[in-house]
Every structure is written in structure tokens, then in C-alpha cells.
Chains A and B, each alone.
Chain A
Amino acid sequence: MDNVTATARKSRYDAGVMKYKEMGYFDLDYQPKETDILALFRITPQDGVDPEEAAAAVAGESSTATWTVVWTDRLTACEKYRAKCYRVDPVPGQEGQYFAAIAYDLDLFEPGSIVNLSASIIGNVFGFKPLKALRLEDMRLPVAYVKTFDGPATGIVVERERLDKFGRPLLGATVKPKLGLSGRNYGRVVYEALKGGLDFTKDDENINSQPFMHWRDRFLYCMEAVNRAQAMTGEVKGSYLNVSAATMEDMYERAEFAKELGSAIVMIDLVIGYTAIQSMAKWARRNDMILHLHRAGHSTYTRQKSHGVSFRVIAKWMRLAGVDHIHAGTVVGKLEGDPFTTRGYYDVCREMYNPMRLEHGIFFDQDWAGLRRMMPVASGGIHAGQMHQLLDLLGEDCVLQFGGGTIGHPMGIAAGATANRVALEAMVLARNEGRDILAEGPAILHAAARRCTPLAQALEVWKDVTFNYSSTDTPDFVPTLTPA
């Protein structure tokens, strides 16, 4: 780098230090191959560091380079293995930040391994001193690489067929309070919510096996509730049983028990790690199980725009890894979510081909090569009064999770569930009839509420609840701007 003195040298492989740009990690004429893995980084160089040299260093440190010249490079096809920064652009409106596009040869990566991919792309390089900050914004995963992964065990289409539910978002609720209920009381919440009209209930991310409720108790009572609700409604129901645990052995034990009890779905947390996620995805595939992923922990590295990993990259990795559900934001609820950025995440989950769309934060064309679609889950601070906005923003292939918005209903949990289901069906019916649901949404809800007291009560209780805070993770491009 600039503050490291380059040694006077005669040729490329003389011992000593040289600029990354001159070591073969920077080539603006490089044409990425169809099989290359591409990554787009946002780099913030330290003061005085040349952005192109910083970008070359990112390419170097995320592939073959070390801080000094090594002659052992010459024992390898080192040209091929060097990642190449092929483009650097200033970030619009962000002084001192640059987008660097880097191409990696496919042979740098082990087939079908998110761990191997992430160890390179977000490994050492994120702590590299000459950078103030570094963010992985997006990746293009070539078809040749996508095909080495199994992808979602179930996928949206098969999940719908298995549940016999079509044409509307699925409805869920996370059991609250998230900690402290006994197994018996927990099952009560599940039963009421499912009987009232929800399709799913859900364990929260930190419900595992605590002193107040051991996991076997929870599973047994939940499945009593699921089966009872199925018999009361004639409809397939499910409850995401969280099998996250300290070791793989524990997780397999819990998942096997869930299967033995007849559960349609199990869940895991993102914090169990990429290897554990891929192991559970393979297990789910072997056992006809829908696999729900709660993205616990992601905001520690996805939320701030200058440093970390964008959630769109995590969503891509998780589609490869093979989960069926992934929390992807609500826009209108209590958690971070810019509408355009969130739209980009939903497209990554659900489309078979994502064209580059800078205004949604999608920097590359991405062909999913037949990999199944992943169901996005909207959860956190949403309620029936927002149904028109939710359906308009998120579409119908998603799970809408109303936790507080079900369990907090003044007339009880089943009434809360019914309010949500009636609001949803009324809105889908109206949308299909060609009505402008964004404009007429409140009127459609109030008309439905005239025949449904629980919905009328829900609309009254939560009428003024909104979470209007500005988002931190927003696109850098607006639709009218032509990208550089």
C-alpha cells in the first residue's frame, strides 16, 4: 500500500514488497468469464490510500496474495488463481467510498460449500488495515457454481402443494412471550392461533431448551395443538419447531423427534453457522421437511452500509445452502427495511432470474439455474390494518407473521388470528377483482370488518401504529439515474 514502502526491484518475483495493483490483482481490461464468481465490494480506503490500489488489495487478500512477494507463486498457475479487480467506481453521493468489482476463477472454490466461499470472500480481507471499512454488496454466482448446490429442500411450489394453500400469503405468528412459557401454556397459544385461522405458528429464535421449558415438552404440546387445530378446521397446519442447539448431534436428535411427531416443518437460526445450515438442509431434503431459517444475528453485519455484508448476499448464500423460508423484512414493521432494498431481497428469494437492478441494490444478473424458490418471511411489528400495504409491497408468495398482531388482540388469540385471515382473504379477493388496493385498502378492510367483529377490533386497537424511521441500508442509485 502507499504507506508501505515498495522495495526497489528488478522484476515481479524479486523478494520484497510491491503494490497489489502491480502484482496482477488489478486489470481494467479483464473481461469476466461466464464461469467466474463476481463480487461487488464497497471500499472506504484510509486517507491517502489510492482507491485502485485498495481495490486491488481486496482482490489480492481475498484470493492468493500475502503482504510480500513469494516465489512459491511460481509453482502454481498463479495468473489464473489471482482474483482481478476489473472495475472501480465512486459511490454516488458518498465521498471517500468506491464500488470495486472483482472476478474470481471458479477453481478457487470448493463445489457446494458456503463455508469455503465465505472464508475467501469475507475472510481476512475485512480486517485489512489500509481500509477504513469494507462491505460486500452483491455477488454473481455462475450457473456452473449454482449447480453444485442442492438449493431449497422444498421450495415455494412444493411447500404450497404439501400444505394445499394457494393464491395468498401464508399466515404465521411467533409465540409470545418469547421466553418463560411452560410447554403446556405454549401449546395453548399455538392451538388458539392455528384454530383461529393461521397456517403456522413459530418458535422464536432463542427458544431452545431452557429451565422453564425443555424442548421435548415444547414439541409434544405443539404437535397436540397442531393436530387438534387441523381437526377443528379441516386444514393443514404447522408449527416451526426450533431445533437450533449447541451441537449437530443435538440438532439431529431434535429434528428426528419433530419428524417422528409428524411435524411438517422445523426451524434453525442463522447463528448456527453455514456448515450446520447446509447439514440441516440435507437432512430436511432426506426427510421431506420444510426448513425455516430465522436470520438471528444478521443485523450485526448487514445493517450499516459502510461495513459488513449486505443481506442480499446472505439471502443468495442461503438459497444455495438450501433453506425453504428466510426472514427478509416487512418494510412497514418494526425492523430495518427500505422498500427498494427489501424488494431486491424478495427477488433474490423468489425469482428464477434476477436482472441487474441498481435501484433495488442488485448489481449483477443472476441466473438461478432451476434452483427452487425460497419463501420470504415478513415478521416484526405488522398488523391487520397494514394488509393492503403488505400485499402490495411483498406479493403473495411470502409468509406474513403477525406475532403481537395476533396474540395481542383484545378478544384473544383465536380472534386475532381470524382478524388477520379475514383481512388477508378480503384483500386478495379485491386485488384479483382489479381493485386498487393501495388506495382502497382501508375501505376494503372496514367493509370486511362489518361482517367480522375481531377484524373491527384489530383495526381499532392498532389503527395508529406505524414505525416510521429512516432506513440505514438504502440503495445508492435512484431509478432516474443512469449508472456510471
Chain B
Amino acid sequence: MHITQGTFSFLPALSDEQITAQAKYCLEKGWSLNIEFTDDPHPRNTYWEMWGTPMFDLKDPAGLMYELAECRKVHAGRAYIRVSAFDATPGWESLRLSFITDRPAEEPGFMLERQERGGRMIAYTTRAYAADRPAGARY
């Protein structure tokens, strides 16, 4: 299983050189970069853990790559890591790019639970197999 959240999940894992190029693009647009990680891959898990605060004053993609390397030292192989770019322009004030840079070694995927109700209705619940274990011990 390979979760396909994020802008570039259908491409081979991005190299550091490719991540740097995307970071450069975002900084040239005036967007702020941010690193997040999680061990809960549920598609509705909005709030991944922040690796520090968004880098509002960053000018050089090297700063992003340094923090990413630090984050990887702690979480690589045991969590998902993503880089996102925030645009503070009026009318946007939201993310403009968000892509996964690192994945756990194994991605066990999701169970789709169906609860039958009346009138052929089914209530669906998506449950990550990884979430069966406590946070911190999932991957």
C-alpha cells in the first residue's frame, strides 16, 4: 500500500535535489515553508505534528533542507514527513503546495468498516491498520 496524499505521490520518491527545487519555487513565490510529520495516515487527519513553527523568514532552501535532515534523524522510517508551503496573500491564507518527502518503511493501509443500517444505507469508517498500535509504536 502506498498512500497518495500530497502533490507528488504518484511520482518516485523525490530526491533532496528535487525537494530543494520545489522549496526554491515556493520561496520565490513568497510562501512560507513548513515541515510536519505523523504516524496517523488517515485521510482526514488534518493536523500533523509540526516540526517547529512555519519558517516565515526563511530565504534559502538550504534552511528547509537542514530542518528536514534534522526531522529525518528522529522520524525517518517511523513516520510520514511532508513539506508544505503557506501563502499569506489575502483571499488565499492557506497552503499552496504540500507533498510527502518520507514514508514509513511499511505502509499497511486501511480497513474499510461497514455498518449496515436500514434502507440499504451503509455507514463507512476508514481505519488505518497502523493506528491499532499506540502512537509512537506504529511503524
A370 touches B110 (CB 8 A): no
Contact partners of B62 in chain A: CB under 8 A: none
CB pair A235 B94 closer than 8 Å: no
- A220–B120 touching, CB < 8 Å: yes
Complex CA–CA separation, A197 to B124 (angstroms): 21
Contact at A421–B10, with CB atoms within 8 Å? yes
Chain A residues lying within 8 Å of B109, measured Cβ to Cβ, are 231-232, 234
The A-B contact count (CB < 8 A) is: 108
B91 touches A418 (CB 8 A): no
Q: Using a Cβ–Cβ cut-off of 8 Å, how many residues does chain A contribute to the interface with B?
A: 40
Given contacts A230-B43, A234-B3, are A166 and B11 in contact (CB under 8 A)?
no
A422 contact from B10, B121, B123, Cβ within 8 A: B10
Do B94 and A261 touch across chains, with their CB atoms under 8 A apart? Answer: no
Residue of A nearest to B14 (CB): A429
With A166-B7, A230-B43, A425-B10 as given contacts, are A224 and B122 in contact (CB-CB < 8 Å)?
A: yes
Main secondary structure of the interface of A (DSSP, over half): helix
**Using Cβ atoms and an 8 Å threshold, which residues of chain B touch A160?**
94-95
Q: Report Cα–Cα, A224/B115, bound state, in Å.
A: 12
Q: Which residues of A contact B124 (CB under 8 A)?
A: 223, 227, 262
Residues of chain B from 81 to 124 with CB closer than 8 A to chain A in the complex: 84-85, 90-99, 109-112, 120-124
B44 at the interface (CB under 8 A from A): yes
Please, what's the 1-or-0 string for A150-192, where 1 marks a CB less than 8 Å from any CB in chain B? 0000000100110011111000000000000000000000000
B8 an interface residue at 8 Å Cβ cutoff?
yes
Cβ–Cβ contact B5 & A234, under 8 A: yes
CB of A231 within 8 A of CB of B110, answer yes
Chain B residues with Cβ under 8 A from A433's Cβ? 18, 21-22, 25
**Minimum C-beta distance from B39 to chain A (A):** 13
Given A157-B93, A231-B126, A432-B21, 17 further pairs, Cβ under 8 A: A166-B7, A197-B10, A220-B121, A220-B122, A227-B112, A227-B124, A230-B112, A231-B110, A231-B111, A234-B42, A235-B43, A236-B43, A260-B121, A418-B10, A422-B11, A426-B11, A433-B22
